[in-house]
Amino acid sequence: MKVLVVFLLGLTLALAEHDHDHHHHHHESYVVKTHDDLVTYRSYCAEKVHASEELVEKYKKWQYPDDAVTHCYLECVFQKFGFYDAEHGFDVHKIHVQLAGAGAEVNHSDETHQKIANCAETHSKEGNSCAKAYHAGMCFMNANLQLVQHSVKV
């Protein structure tokens, strides 16, 4: 899905360029991830979920079918980035801060934050943890495409 590639690339750029001046104390311990981290996480997660060579090839082309293996693959990638865990779901604040980019002031009561939060909440009771991560992540990317595309250009 092209939306996912835009999201992950934008996320990677935002993460790589993000400084440690978060303006929010609860994010100070977050370690910024790089493109190399993303590559490592993708390999690790593909192996962890026993993705077939065919699926791995699809992932390399940014194609993410709606199936159980892919759900868990994306859950793993989101977990490795520090944006998702099975017990607490998505960390809406971290996602918003990362997409805002380096040094940006983030208003956690703005429309973007609400879109992220709505997607996380809408899918919070949906199936298992892998399904929640996949569907909420896809919802978020679809709801915030312009922001994600902008973060790629930064």
- Indicate if the alpha-carbon torsion angle 113, 95, 14, 97 is positive or negative: positive
CB atoms within 10 A of CB 77: 23
pLDDT tens digits, one per residue of 103-121: 667 787 888 888 889 988 8
pLDDT tens digits, one per residue of 28-83: 555 566 677 778 999 999 999 999 999 999 887 767 889 999 999 999 998 998 88
- Indicate if the alpha-carbon torsion angle 97, 101, 107, 110 is positive or negative: negative
Q: State the architecture of 2-153 in CATH terms.
A: Orthogonal Bundle (1.10)
Where do the structural domains in the chain lie, given as residue ranges? Answer: 2-153
CB atoms within 10 A of CB 16: 16
Which of residues 18 and 109 earns the better pLDDT score? 109
pLDDT tens digits, one per residue of 139-152: 877 776 555 544 44
- Cα–Cα distance measured from residue 146 to residue 153, given in angstroms and rounded to the nearest whole number: 11
pLDDT at res. 22: 36
